Every structure is written in C-alpha cells, then in structure tokens.
Chain A
C-alpha cells in the first residue's frame, strides 16, 4: 500500500515538473509549447534547395538567371525590388535577411526552455560581432562603417559602445557585464591592451566557454535534445580543436596557450586534447585523428591538391550530415539549431555559385557542399 502511494506521489502532471524530476519531457507534452514552431521549422526545412535546384543554378550564365531561378524556389521574389545589375553582396545580404526574419519569428514565439535554447544560438554571433567591432576599432574604422557588417542575430543594446574599451578588463566591466556573454568572460579578463593576437585569443576563449556552457545546458535538457545536440556540439568542439592546432603552427601561439583554447566538451577530451597539445605538425594531428573513427575518415581523403577536397570542406560535409540527421528525430530542439546551420550553408553555397558566375571562373563551381 505504501509502495502504491509512493508511486502515485511520483506521478507529476505539469510539464515543468516533468522537467524537474527526470530532466526529460514526455514526448506527448512537447507539442503544447513547441508544436507550432517545430511544424514551422520542418516546413522551412522542406524549402531547402535540392540537388535539382543546384544543377539548375550552376547552369546559369548571369546573375539575372540566378535570380530568375531562385524565384521558383522557396526564396520567391526576395530580390524583386533590387535594381537590375545585381551584385553578389546584395544577394548575400538579402539571403541573410530572410534567414534572420525566420529566426526572429521563431524566437518571438518561443517560450522557455526553447527561448533560452535559441538565445544560446545567438551568443555565437554576438562573439563574432564583438571581435569584428574591436578589430575594426583597432584599425581606426568609424563605428558607423562597421555596424552594417555585424550579423543581425548577434546584436545587443550596448554593442555600439564597444570601441570605448581598450583593454579586455574594460571591455568586460563597461560593456559585456550586462550581456549574456558575461559568464563566458571569466578567464580572459586581463589588463593587456587589445591587439591583434589578443583578440583572437579572446575570441577563442569566449567561444570555448560558450560551447561548454551550451553543451551542459543541452545535457540538462535531457532526452532526444541532449542526444542530438551533444553529438553536434561535440563535433563542433573537436573541429575547433583541430583547426586551432593546424592554424597555430608557425605562429607565436605556444603549446601551453593553445591547450587553454581547446573546448573540452568533445570526444577528444581528455586524451585527444592532450595529444593535440603536444602536436608539432600536420602529421601529428593526423595521427591523433587516427584514434577516432569518424575523424580518421575525414582526414583520410583530405588534401590541398586540386581534385581533392580540403579538410574544411570535409568538416562542413560532416556537419551537414549531422544536421540533416537531426531531422529524423521528433520532439526535440535540435531541429532549430540544425535548420539555422543548414540554411547558412545553403547561403554560402549560393554565394559561392554566384561568385563563380560573376567572375566567369566556372572551374570550381561544383565545389559547393551538397545538403540534401
């Protein structure tokens, strides 16, 4: 009898308490708050350009043909009001505007915990914007020239006052302390003046803290969201570790400093990261990757000879594959993250093709990343 009472008392009915007890929401309750948005994002995902669309796009002779073909896709008449000789930068801006509008709509309709999840996604853009503005300020560019280059998803109220900071502690105390990025700043506060090298280190440290925080948040959400997102974020962390290592050869960055920049939420932690910290050239890095099956496959076919794909391209392809696979599960937040990343990749593809057309250099026009 007492056992029965115990069982009954464990049964909770409200969605919030369903989170609290086991960290995992019943699938049937997902649609109460998030059903509309998941349906919307899946509808958007169906509008992502397919292989046939890309085949048509690479056959275009001029940018006007490209615009004509994009009219028949989900993009519709987004370029209809642009003056006739279109430039690639205009196409890029309009593609991004459409994506930002879709994301803002979803963010406006989201409630907790999806709202926090979507906010986490925007923190990455905030970091990029901050670094962009500081670098621009170092080169004496006026702030009004730099603002249009910022990513719209990563703006916050105090962003334009960034140029008042000349050291990183000032940056933190004056500007960032009220923003959500305050938590990620922990280790970077120092009295050194901001210069080129420091900026990159700050960017990578911020990003490491952000990734780890995002990872632990997804893990706390539990369920399929944790499964899907942790896989994607782990790959992102490992990819950053590899790229940082490869790019740091031949620069002033010491191995010790480099080790501090590796995000620890990936599969390479702890042994792989330790091995990477000791690596001295590309061969060593490849040897580290040998221990992990997916990464071995990625390093295998990569190279910088013409005809082979570069390592970055292979990383992009793997990321796209993980993102597309996330749509196979239902009732989780990973679809929102995956949709944003896939759409960005699509924008990069279209801009690549548009550049090849505009410069009449069609040799590598097929080097876009295939999504669907």
Chain B
C-alpha cells in the first residue's frame, strides 16, 4: 500500500564522524531534513556542553541582527524576502559575519546618537523660537504699564500700592510639558508662598521628543518674581519638573535680533539633520537587502551547533559519535549526504552503522503539502504508534464529507469553496508573506481542507435542497395542490395526502429533497427526522469501518489473540446494538408508508426509540 497508509519503517543508526567533517556533515543532513538525532548527553548542563561558546557567539549575532531589524522596521523600510535558502556558512566564515554585524551595529549606534544630539539641538532652538514669539505678548502688556502709568496692567497689580515706582521684577522663561502644568503651578504657589506670578501659553504644534521619537505637546511659561531667593527656588522647581529654561532678553530689539539668529541656526540644523537621516536611511536600506539571508545563516549555524552538542566525543579516534533515527527508505540519501559533507571538508568518510534495539521507533509519515493538513488533524488526537495504520488517508474524504453533512448549504458551500480555491490558487505569493496573524495562518494552513469542505457542502446542499436556506425547483415538484379555490380560501392549513394520485405523483423528486417541503409547516419535523437518521447511519458505518481497519493492524503485528479477544467482541457489541438500530431505521422507511393497509400506514408506524430501548 502507499506510504501514507502506514508509518515508515525506521532504523536506529550510529554515526561516526571525524571532528573536521562533523560540521559539514551535520549541515548536509540538516538540509536533507530526514534524520532525528538522539541526545547522548541528557544529564549534562546546558552551559557545560562542548560547543556552548559557539552557541553564545550565535546568540550575540542574533542580538545584533534583531537590533538592526528593529531599526529597519522603525524607519518603515520593507524587508526584501526572496525566499532563498542560503547554505550554512563554514566556521571560518562565521568570523567574517561577526565582524560585519559588529561594524553595522556600531555604525548604526553612532548615527543614532548623532541624530539624537542634533534633534535635541533642534528642539531647543524651536522652543526658543516659540518662547520669543509668545513672550512678546507678555512683555507688551508689561511695557504698556510703564508707558501709560494710569492704565491697569498685570505687573502693576502684582505690586503693592505704595511701592516706589516700577520695581524691577526678575523673570525666567521656559517650556514644559502640557500635562505637568497644573502640578507645576500648585508646587510654585506652595513653595514660594504665592509670591511668584506664572503666565503660560500653549504651543500649537507638537514637538518631537529626541529620546523616544514621539510627538508631545508643550507650553511656554514665564514666571515673574522678586529677589534672589525666590529665583533660586523657582529654578529648582523648574529643574524638578523637567522644564527647560531659556535666556530671554528684556528689550524687544534684542529679542528680535535673537529671533533672527535662531531662524538662521534652525535652517542650518535642518539641512544637517536631513543629511544625517539620509545617511541612516541608506545604511538601513543596504542592510535590509541582506538581513533575511543573514538571519537564516545564523539560525542554521546555531542549530548545527545545538545538534553537535548532542553528540558524544570519542577521544580515542578523535571523532564524534551520534545516534539517530532514519527512515529505511532514505538510507541511500543519507549516505549520499554524508559523502557530500566529507568531500567538502576533505577528510575520512563517515561511517553509518545500523543498530538493533528494542526501543519503540518514532512514527514518521511522509506527507506533501496536501496531506500535511490532514495528518496534523489526526495527530492532534494522538500520534499513531510505530507502523500502525494511519487514519489520515481516509480522513481526506471522510472529514470534509461529515462536515458537509452538518453544513449542507449550496450557497454557503460555494463561498467556502471559492475561498479555499483562492487560497490554493495563490499559494505561493500568500505563503511568502509570512504574517504574524494567527487566525490567518490557521485558515491558510487548512486551505485544502476548506476547499474540500466547500465542495462537499455543495453536494450535500443539493441533496438537502438548501441554497442560502431556500429550496430550488430544478426538476418539478412531485406534490401538487389539488384542492379547489373555495377550500383553499376557507382553510388556513391544508394537508397533502401522499396516497392520493392527484396530490402526489407516486415517484419522488429525482435528486434531493422535494422543494415542496420549503412551504410546509411540518418541514422541520420531517427534515429533523431525516437528518438525524442519516447521521446515525453514517456515523455507525464510519465507526464500523474504523473497527474493521483494526484487523489489518492485528494481522500486521501478528497478534491473533487480539482478533479473538478485541475485534470479535467489539463487532458483536456494535452490531447487536447499533447495526440493529440502523436496520430498524431502514425497515421503518421501507415497510411503513401511505397507501395500503392500516397496519402499514404512518399512524401505525412504531417509534424506533421505544422499540430500541423498550421503555
């Protein structure tokens, strides 16, 4: 029978590898993907194994690559994934890779720190520009008081009535996050006992925070106070709330000059900043081209060293001993792979010995992309034991069919089949996308199952005569309404009698259920009874089939006793109960019906439930 019918025959082998060729041989075997190694050092700690240093170096490289990937994703550069499968590089090339990654990481770190310093500068200048603009308003009001002494102004009101002329108030101007203003005000009031005056104005545009890169809203404030002590206190509080203070000249002419200076500096900074960003972008784009391939290479190196850690060191002959399971059918392929590996490293050939063991070998099913989904479905209930019959090939048909019996709608079945068909048709581009969305991955992994489920659902939908919950009349209904108009108008409900030739052509609808049932009141009663009985019949047939399959298992494992003690009692039990039930169902369908004797009329048909359980 085909290879999916039973699990493959496996052989336990011992592998002698020379130290020089160990790496390349494991690399070749890894590409082949048909060997399962056993861990010969189970009680050795993870950090006492032989190749733990190389694994650590791989971890370091992975960390650097992850950092690069994060930066690439931050800039929104698409990562090119050609789907290529680079081979694991030699150990000497590993050093080249390490050097390359180190250089890239350092370069990127340098560019980032430069950009951050520049951005900080830019932020300061922008804040200064805003301060100069907003404080203009504050000082205008103050100067207004000096010129026209009689008008009320802010500062005039601040000072006591009998003060000697305009007293010079000191001030600090600065910028603070908008969220902190209420607490800031409160703290100022409390600490200075109400002897300072705060004015603030919000900045309309958000600024970019250099450390995190996110946009934050800030406000400009200016604090007026009198005396040096208050000045110290105000400065400390500003520091405490992370408000940045800027020197703001009093005279308007100075302010205007400063504003122009700031503008020119801002322009210069802008050019430098954009150049830095360009440079960083270029570095990242060139890294993005290769990053997938690099990641794959590092993963391959790491897995090779993890595998090598499982080997035993043979000091006498300076080699490594490994134990592995391989399918007997692939013996030649493994030999070829080993030969390729030893040729690459140019040393003595590796020796592959078959061992005999009483241990249970692992179960291996050879699947392709179509059967893999069904095999996974079966394995989720429990992996079959070694060389047992594999339920998967039967599941390819029975699973979608039993699903369809429950689903049973042509319209929805078409949609499902189209969805599955689209996924199968666009397999290659969709699988290359590599999304993290779990739900999509589940659907895509089961695309063949969904396609088959849709197709079978269309079939059962036709049998149930159900298209989006409506019936279609393809062949002409077998029921006819043979009442005259007056009867129809006087009665709300009328019954059609199948015994009457005028009301029922004595042959049924050719395929599926009659569309007349859609209009009837007892549609649910009829459908339910029918579907339940169908389900029982199919279910019991399915179960019987499974039990009969076990005979092949018993014969294969030469356990004749199981046939007598397991199989025969199972069959007797199943048959006496459930096959009897099925027979009752068929008998009732065939024997009892309309037309004919009273004893076989529907009113005398016995209940299967009562007959079965006799209660």
Contact = CB atoms under 8 A, between A and B. Distances in A.
Interface of A: 56, 59-61, 64-65, 68-69, 72, 80-81, 83-84, 143, 157-158, 160-165, 170, 173-175, 177-178
B55 to A, nearest CB: 9
Contacts of A64: 47, 56
13 contacts: A68-B46, A69-B45, A80-B59, A158-B183, A160-B239, A160-B242, A164-B191, A164-B236, A164-B237, A170-B191, A173-B190, A174-B187, A177-B190
Given A164-B237, A174-B190, 13 more contacts: A68-B46, A68-B52, A69-B46, A83-B63, A157-B180, A158-B187, A160-B239, A160-B240, A161-B191, A161-B241, A164-B240, A170-B191, A177-B190
Nearest to B242: A160
The residue among A60, A83, A158 with the most chain B CB atoms within 10 A of its own CB is A158
Nearest to B193: A173
A164 B47 contact: no
A68 B237 CA distance: 45
Contact of A84 (B60, B66, B237): B60
Contacts of B239: 143, 160, 163
Given A56-B45, A174-B190, A164 B233 contact: yes
Among A56, A160, A163, A174, the one with the most B-chain Cβ atoms within 10 Å of its Cβ is A174
A interface SS class: helix
Given A81-B67, A173-B190, A174-B190, A60 B47 contact: yes
Nearest to A160: B240
Contact of B46 (A72, A81, A173): A72
Nearest to B64: A83
Contacts of B186: 178
Interface in B384-419: none
Contacts of B242: 160
A160 B176 CA distance: 14
B533 to A, nearest CB: 45
Contacts of B237: 161, 164
Given A81-B63, A157-B180, A174-B191, A163 B47 contact: no
B52 to A, nearest CB: 8
A68 to B, nearest CB: 5
Contact of B45 (A59, A83, A160): A59
Interface string B161-193: 000000000000000000010010011001100
Interface in B52-79: 52, 56, 59-60, 63, 66-67
Nearest to A133: B240
A174 B184 CA distance: 11
> Per DSSP, are chain B's interface residues mostly helix, strand or loop, or mixed?
helix
Interface in B221-265: 233, 236-237, 239-242
Contacts of B56: 64, 68, 84
Interface residues of B, number: 23
Nearest to A80: B63
A65 B241 CA distance: 42
Contact of A143 (B59, B233, B240): B240
B45 to A, nearest CB: 7
A163 B236 contact: yes
A162 B239 CA distance: 10
A353 to B, nearest CB: 14
Contacts of A157: 180, 183
Contacts of B46: 68-69, 72
B136 to A, nearest CB: 29
Contacts of A170: 191
Given A80-B63, A174-B187, A178-B186, A65 B47 contact: yes
A80 B64 CA distance: 10
B298 to A, nearest CB: 14
Interface in B19-71: 45-47, 52, 56, 59-60, 63, 66-67
Nearest to A177: B190
The 4 closest A-B pairs by CB, nearest first: A161-B240, A160-B240, A174-B191, A65-B47
A253 to B, nearest CB: 31
Nearest to B46: A68
Contacts of A164: 187, 191, 233, 236-237, 240
B202 to A, nearest CB: 19
A68 B63 contact: no
B47 A175 contact: no
Contacts of A173: 190-191
Given A65-B47, A69-B47, A81-B66, A175 B187 contact: yes
Contacts of B240: 143, 158, 160-164
A272 to B, nearest CB: 41
Contacts of B180: 157
Contacts of A161: 187, 191, 236-237, 240-241
A80 B56 CA distance: 11
Contact of A160 (B47, B52, B190, B241): B241
A158 B188 CA distance: 11
A158 B46 CA distance: 48
Contacts of B63: 80-81, 83
A165 B232 CA distance: 11
Nearest to B67: A81
Contacts of B233: 164
B384 to A, nearest CB: 31
Contacts of A178: 183, 186
Nearest to B62: A80
A303 B127 CA distance: 61
Contacts of B187: 158, 161, 164, 174-175
B65 to A, nearest CB: 11
A352 B87 CA distance: 44
A72 B45 CA distance: 12
B155 to A, nearest CB: 25
A20 B180 CA distance: 38
Contacts of A84: 56, 60
A69 B191 CA distance: 51
A160 B238 CA distance: 9
A84 B180 CA distance: 39
B23 to A, nearest CB: 22
B69 to A, nearest CB: 12
B318 to A, nearest CB: 26
Nearest to B56: A64
Query: Which of A72, A164, A174 neighbours the largest number of chain B CB atoms within 10 Å of its CB?
Result: A164
A145 to B, nearest CB: 12
Contacts of B52: 68
Contacts of B45: 56, 59, 69
Interface in B182-214: 183, 186-187, 190-191
Interface in B126-148: none
B404 to A, nearest CB: 40
Nearest to A59: B45
A72 B233 CA distance: 52
A304 to B, nearest CB: 35
